[in-house]
Structure 1
């Protein structure tokens, strides 16, 4: 909880009306919590340091584990390919590498990838996997000292389809109240006695079509009793380097399966599909073959000595399906991980990666063959590369390069927020090249959301003031956004005209330390300039004011975050 007295001293913001800062906004809200996601863990080269036994990159996992522990996540999910060779001894090594998380009271959930399911000799890894990960069925964990704890509840597997899927495909819930989330994990890899040949070199077991009744039941928003839901598998819906998909073939195959799966995600409020396989950080918006449904896909960055380069957009094995993908963000040849924070209706994702990057792959890891450090994992320095968020009570807008942000408009409890001016000036492209050598221009996904403040005993007759959340205007690796003009409406009964005339009222924002201040003070550059009147084209960065006629506060900004309209005083 924020110290209000300290807030007044540090920022001069007077929140006689702004109740959110003195308490939780809703009795339904529980406590914000975090979970972690990590990518494929494969060691694919020589190991002169002896720190990566049995094709498991323990030297990488150990460093990423430390970040999850320090971040205080409740559990970690790995998106498959737990070792490179998939042998039983290797999979045992991966289990051991996760034990520091468990000893710290952090759960660890995993599922098979193609490297677990590569050999019939060990039952495609299924019997051993099921034995090593009993938590996939009950959430139970045992520490090295013998202590135990449970993470999650309401575990389910599609056992009506086949008992062989028990603990392979599974779902579970975590959290309370508005922070409660369901996780649906899909395993479609071969099983003993169940091998379905595909057009790609990766066969299937029980397909998406086989499991769709269970998937739909777990996602059903009317019955699941969790506001949030995430769906995960090893294979992408459409990949970047790999061209096989979750749908048992190339991206053009089984469109009827795809349409039904996409529809089940969209109709049940799934905002993010998470996968691995490609060893790259990639955010995309994928549309179903029939064009009726879409979902944002996150391909998780590598935790391996292996990195993939996206295949050309003109490659024949895409079968023209890349037109269904809008690229949002991409980073190659790095090691990274993800921290998800669930706070009321809002989900924030922080992508962390090492600040060096440009690592070389396989026998050249990390910086080339023939060096003294070839095959030796460096000490990573992880930095936040990207943050994005969405809210279940907000909207989403796709803004291509060169397009206006003025499409962004949202309302909540009588308050309207909208962008009056600003263009997406980004020229960034990804590495998915076409025949002319051009990558795709990146599209920005702008998300809105709201927090409903409640009146307190200090607010008198003043109503609650809503907080507007805005994200997606930034760019990976940058700490500021394009210049834009944000406007929010206010109730004129809650402000004295002399406060407006003196410049003591307007848009406020929350900084990284949780303090609230005049919104323009969080800009990069520009000078705070108050204008008693409506916004006009040409006003410089840092200009802010009040449109008294239309009861709107506005500001020229180059940052995103949480915003409200409130009183503030001069420093």
Structure 2
């Protein structure tokens, strides 16, 4: 979901690491990591900038974005080159050098293109371990010889096989409430371990083989990290490719799938991150038994290859697409992701080039036979979408045409709820079917959360409530959200009567300077209109007021973000 102009006007309202200048309970310091998709060069290279089937001319531009954003490390989700040759993999290592020299870690794992050459390089396993020793200890060395370490508590499923050391791996990063565990799964062939599958991609040590290690690393009772993320190259259910992480098509090994999905849901893993499909696709996926679910992010392309989703009624989906609810999709673009961990909240920003509609392979970027065919243009990255979760919040599914009034949350005496509004989107993805070719309606996943305002910080111009976080009411590429009415309660003991009577008290958000401002000031359009009384149906965008009898404030908005009850100026 993207929040477009409403965020530009309010100075990135939901950027919690900037906005929330009061301490959160037990919070350390917010931090960021980056995710990038498959990096493959698949066409002629007249500029000579992309040796070894590695899109260096694209990677360099994405690297700069990560460096400017100040991420702690970057994870790439496999397929590091197109041909998987040892010489090409060396080029990819070199292309990550600007990150490391900037003090940013780089973690990777094998994709099918690394694991496709048995005779030449033993499925790329030995070469990968040699090139990426950081997957075992987090150690990096800059070209100037400076050493630094990213992460701790590294682990691999060596009890399954020593051959998996540094291929499947896990590590922790961050402190306090911002500490997170990363579990990375490699199920590709290894010398002496090749398992034939129904698809043309064989396996090595399967999910079933590695599930005890996965479950142990995710166990929230023992891991001592509030957050956890799981990554692999193959999707759980793809958009274009029909092979899965479960050694076959999406209907195969349901018992493996049920166990894996349960290990994520039961341990508060909110996001499964993967690649393989060269498309931005967010989905809610259910396990075959319907008892567990997870949000899957398929990472956008960082390649000259762009896939279009296969039709939904293709035989080789085996009817399993009914387990997938599409939330957001964009194809034929170059993009990347920045995750921000701030206390109990994780916010994801998806950036992509503002041109898009790139053509694939020999037609890259804008068609064959042009003077610029095979030459990467200067990419201008813009924020396309932002979404989040909070461990102390809730999640609500709002299909098209449904009401947002299901969104309500309570936290330590605070209450926030949406009083009116509905999902007016008519957007569909490009996952068509042969019957009508319309694509799937995109549902909205609305998430809530809270940031604690210490009692000593309440009073004066500080909030008379904790801060309420709301995301998911907008959609990808939009410049505002649907119109809705948000209401929050306040503690009258924390507010002077003259403050309430001043006309400058109500629902607020932070502006770019860090000041609490009237929440309607961040709307796209509408007129700020104060009403001394409860909300009534029919009030226009920009209306806001106070229900003194019930100690509630309300506002008619078309943006989401971070909200509180306070004085504004």
Quick one: structure 1 residues 61 and 22, their matched pair in 2 at CA, closer, same or farther if it must change by over 3 Å?
A: closer
Q: Deviations over 1:429-463 (max 9, x none)?
A: 00000121110000001000000111337859x99
TM-score (norm 1): 0.94
Partner of residue 82, structure 1: 80
Residue 374 (structure 2) pairs with residue 397 (structure 1) = no
TM-score (norm 2): 0.95
Q: SS of 1:433's equivalent?
A: coil
Partner of residue 107, structure 2: 109
1:370, 1:317 → 2: CA distance? 35
1:543, 1:447 → 2: CA distance? 24
Instruction: Please list, as runs of the form range in 1=range in 2, the aligned pairs for 1:433-472 lying within 5 A after superposition.
Output: 433-435=432-434, 436-456=436-456, 459=459, 465-472=465-472
Q: Deviations over 1:406-442 (max 9, x none)?
A: 0000000101100000010000000000121110000
Equivalent position to 1:33, from 31, 34, 41:
31
Kept after mapping to 2: 8 A contact 1:455/1:463: no
Q: SS of 1:456's equivalent?
A: helix
Q: Deviations over 1:473-531 (max 9, x none)?
A: 01111231010000001112223444434422210012355432011111111111111
Kept after mapping to 2: 8 A contact 1:510/1:561: no
Q: Deviations over 1:23-82 (max 9, x none)?
A: 3222x2111111000000000011111000010011111111111111111100000000
2:69, 2:238 → 1: CA distance? 29
1:372, 1:41 → 2: CA distance? 23
The structure with higher relative contact order (CA 8 Å, sep 6+) is 2
Partner of residue 234, structure 2: 235
Quick one: structure 1 residues 513 and 391, their matched pair in 2 at CA, closer, same or farther if it must change by over 3 Å?
A: farther
2:62, 2:142 → 1: CA distance? 19
Quick one: structure 1 residues 440 and 530, their matched pair in 2 at CA, closer, same or farther if it must change by over 3 Å?
A: same
Partner of residue 141, structure 1: 140
Partner of residue 312, structure 2: 313
Quick one: structure 1 residues 324 and 514, their matched pair in 2 at CA, closer, same or farther if it must change by over 3 Å?
A: farther
2:526, 2:375 → 1: CA distance? 46
Quick one: structure 1 residues 458 and 517, their matched pair in 2 at CA, closer, same or farther if it must change by over 3 Å?
A: closer
Q: SS of 2:229's equivalent?
A: strand
Quick one: structure 1 residues 41 and 534, their matched pair in 2 at CA, closer, same or farther if it must change by over 3 Å?
A: same
1:286, 1:458 → 2: CA distance? 41
2:495, 2:381 → 1: CA distance? 45
Quick one: structure 1 residues 456 and 127, their matched pair in 2 at CA, closer, same or farther if it must change by over 3 Å?
A: same
Aligned residues: 550
Kept after mapping to 2: 8 A contact 1:530/1:543: yes
Partner of residue 268, structure 2: 269
Kept after mapping to 1: 8 A contact 2:464/2:564: no
Q: SS of 1:164's equivalent?
A: helix
Instruction: Please list, as runs of the form range in 1=range in 2, the aligned pairs for 1:127-526 lying within 5 A after superposition.
Output: 127-435=126-434, 436-456=436-456, 459=459, 465-526=465-526
1:182, 1:25 → 2: CA distance? 21
Partner of residue 16, structure 2: none
Deviates more, 1:551-560 or 1:504-513: 504-513
Kept after mapping to 2: 8 A contact 1:425/1:482: yes
Runs of 5+ unmatched residues, structure 2: 1-9, 12-18
Q: SS of 1:538's equivalent?
A: coil
How far residue 167 of structure 1 moved from its aligned partner, in angstroms, is: 0.2
Q: CA RMSD in A?
A: 1.6
Quick one: structure 1 residues 514 and 239, their matched pair in 2 at CA, closer, same or farther if it must change by over 3 Å?
A: farther
2:237, 2:124 → 1: CA distance? 25
1:195, 1:551 → 2: CA distance? 65
1:316, 1:551 → 2: CA distance? 57
Partner of residue 3, structure 1: none
2:21, 2:206 → 1: CA distance? 50
How far residue 386 of structure 1 moved from its aligned partner, in angstroms, is: 0.7
Partner of residue 546, structure 1: 546
Partner of residue 60, structure 1: 58
